[in-house]
Amino acid sequence: MDIKNRTPFAFAPVMGWVNFPSHTATLVVKAGFRIMPDGVCEPLDEQPSFEGDVMSKASEPECLYDADLAQYKPHADVLLSGSCHAPGGKAVTATTATFRVGDWSKSVACIGNRTWQKGLIRSTMSEPEPFTKVAITWHNAFGGPKFAHNPAGKGHKDVLLPNIENPNDLIGGAGDKPKPAGFGPLHRSWKHRTKKMGTYDKKWLKERFPAWPKDFDWTYFNAAPDDQQLDGFLNCTEEVVLEGMSADHPVLKTRLPGIRVRCLIREGDELALREVQMNLDTMHVDADKQEIYLLWRGIADVSDGDWTACRDILVVSEKLEDKKQTHEELLPLFEEEPEEGEVEEGDEPESVEEKSAAIDKLIKEMEARAAKVEGDVSAAAKRAAGDEFDPVKQAASAPKTEYSHAVNAVNSNWQGVAGAGGKLPPGVSANDFNPAADPGMQELMKLEQAMKPPRPTEPGKLAAMMKSGEAKGGDFGGAELKEQDLEGSDLSESFLNDADLSGANLKGADLNGASLSNANLSNADLSGADLSEADLTGADLSGAKLDGANLSESVLMKTKADGASFKGVKAVGAIFAEMQADGGIFSEGDFTQAVFSDVSLVKADFTGSILKDAAFDGVNATEAIFTGAIMPGFRGGEASDFTKAKVDKVNGTGSVWEKSTLVETDFAESELGGALFPDSNLTGARLFGANLTRSVMRKAVLKGAKCGNTNFFRAMLEQADLTEASLVNANCYEADFMDAKTEGTNFEGANLKMTKLAK
């Protein structure tokens, strides 16, 4: 496939099933323009590339920019990021900001910082503080961690009031729960979007996998609030007006550039020509930068997932005021070389393989980011094993865990396979998920602690106070508690950031919801402790003993865990990220829906553990031991390496190992029915006696694999490489070996009935 992009704008095709059962290619063009006050927008000198979800740096991240490569939008999104500026630069306590596009408009009230003040009868609002500028973000709108429609906001069960409100629905009392107000995109893991994901059950798996389910609502890809989703699409001539969002222009007016984007395709040996209707379905205004980003999208039915029939694609743009060129007039552009600078060198790969690889890489880098969180579809795993399956519940349940799986789900569907892995986006670090780093949370902590008496500073007295039960919810940041006896202490919801608890006895201690960021817990005994929902970001657990501890919903990011023991822990929905835990003991634990991202687990021991619906993304698990683990729905990401790992005698029904490195991995006698291994590297793997009934091993590399007595009943092995593999006495009844490489493969005694290999 050759891409003839005769525009200065970015272009990419995305494969999918918008018109199921037909394969489709979504053609996307992105253009950037500079706002010209009282004029027409002009193209940016440097055109933007495609972006994935851009997240804020906060403990509860919001989406600042929604991913470009959506498969389909039923109607247009108009989005804006920016700030409200006080008129004339003079501080005010409240004002309004208005966003207009053509005949559509929306306003928000922008108010200075306020807090709830407790009174004898009821709480009252403080007077708003004067401001000259306030960000129009979901962080400043009504919401909070337990508010499903805006977990990133403030005002819900919080002393801080929102800065951004609906001018027609202002907060009047402490019990009010208004709809959050804003102009930006909604996070794909928030309730407004996840409820549109559809039903993932056995019927879906049988009839539509890996496409979206039948009841999938395509407005899932519309990231704008409902009142910012227009009827139909933009025509690119609308006037855009920003009131109160520029320090230099109280009312900033500009007009869209008035262009149309066209995509033409030539297919087959006869180069049959057809045009794809391109709709302008997304406009994102960056008011601070005074730039506008436009996205055109079109859907083309194609014959197969690789679109092998496509010879070339022509992308052109025209001025709407000019006569629309005929196909005959455009045909020469298929052959002409672009003028120097028209298309950046290296923008478009020359072959279908290069194009596919480039788009795959682009999506992985932009969209699969999240491994730390959220569940649009944790996976085809449970779908095969269970009846009904809720994609959101398959993620680690808290918002901090929900983020990852949602994006992964989008990736897996865009690429036609389940189980894509992910990484944090550029510019975002693990500390961005630390609640203590959030300014609003810091202010709340200060207010909560202001009324409490000073704590003892002498370690012994402080430890005694903790054991007496007087420390619950206290602020012990930086406390010196080295080797103190705190067994059974109630330290729930306590602030223990930077505390020295090295060598301390914390057996059975209640640390539920505690903040232990950067705390020193080296060689501490946390056996049986309750660390559920605790924040252990940057903590030192070197040599610590956590046997039998409860780590459910906890966050361990950049946590040191050398020599630590997690034997028998309960870590449901926990996040383990950017950790070094080589040789760690994780045996007999419950890691259901846990997320392991960018973790080194070389020679780690998970013997007998529960890893149901857990996600390993970017994990180095070489020579790790999973013998006897219970792991239906387990997902190993593309960047994960299980070389020489022991995954024998496991229950991995419906597990996903897409593009994983499984060289010489031992899957002997494992239950892997319905497991997904597309494009995985199983060179020299040991699958003796494993059950791979109805598994998907399309394009998997099984060179020299030992598959004696393996059950491949109805397995999908199209284009798999079985060179020199041993399938002695294997059951391959109705297995699909279409285009598989079988040079030197040993099928002695194998059941090949109903296969293309049957003699």
Q: What is the DSSP string of 466-522?
A: HHTT--TT-B-TT-B-TT-B-TT-B-TT-B-TT-B-TT-B-TT-B-TT-B-TT-B-T
What confidence score (pLDDT) does residue 339 get? 54
Residue 188 is assigned to a structural domain of this protein: no
pLDDT in tens, 493-542: 999 999 999 999 999 999 999 999 999 999 999 999 999 999 999 999 99
pLDDT at 566 over 70: yes
Which of 479, 462, 461, 560 is CA-nearest to residue 515?
Answer: 479
pLDDT at 359 over 50: no
Residue 117 is assigned to a structural domain of this protein: yes
pLDDT in tens, 49-86: 999 899 998 888 999 999 999 999 999 999 999 999 99
pLDDT in tens, 376-404: 333 333 333 344 434 333 333 333 333 33
Alpha carbon separation from 348 to 220, 344, 436 (Å, rounded): 29, 8, 44
Is the CB of residue 229 less than 8 Å from the CB of residue 14? no
Is the CB of residue 685 less than 8 Å from the CB of residue 704? no
pLDDT at 467 over 80: no
* 704 vs 471, residue with greater confidence: 704
Report the chain's mean pLDDT, rounded to a whole number.
84
What confidence score (pLDDT) does residue 363 get? 41
What confidence score (pLDDT) does residue 337 get? 62
What confidence score (pLDDT) does residue 310 get? 83
pLDDT at 108 over 90: yes
Residue 15 is assigned to a structural domain of this protein: no
pLDDT category of residue 453 using cuts at 50, 70 and 90: very low
Q: In this structure, what DSSP letter does residue 453 have? A: P
Residue 708 is assigned to a structural domain of this protein: no
pLDDT in tens, 640-665: 999 999 999 999 999 999 999 999 99
pLDDT at 723 over 60: yes
Residue 119 is assigned to a structural domain of this protein: yes
Backbone dihedral region of 645: left (phi > 0), alpha (psi from -120 to 50 degrees) or beta? beta
* 704 vs 438, residue with greater confidence: 704
What confidence score (pLDDT) does residue 330 get? 93
Give the length of the chain: 759
Residue 112 domain boundaries:
106-165
Residue 146 is assigned to a structural domain of this protein: yes
pLDDT at 439 over 70: no
pLDDT at 757 over 60: yes
pTM greater than the 0.75 cutoff: no
pLDDT at 334 over 70: yes
Is the CB of residue 292 less than 8 Å from the CB of residue 35? yes
Structurally, the chain folds into a number of domains equal to 1
* pLDDT (mean) for 712-727: 94
* pLDDT (mean) for 256-285: 94
pLDDT at 476 over 80: yes
Residue 586 is assigned to a structural domain of this protein: no
* 210 vs 456, residue with greater confidence: 210
- Counting residues of the chain whose pLDDT is more than 90, the rounded percentage is 67
The first and second tokens of residue 264, run together, are 């033409």
Residue 321 is assigned to a structural domain of this protein: no
Rg over CA atoms, the chain: 28
pLDDT category of residue 468 using cuts at 50, 70 and 90: confident
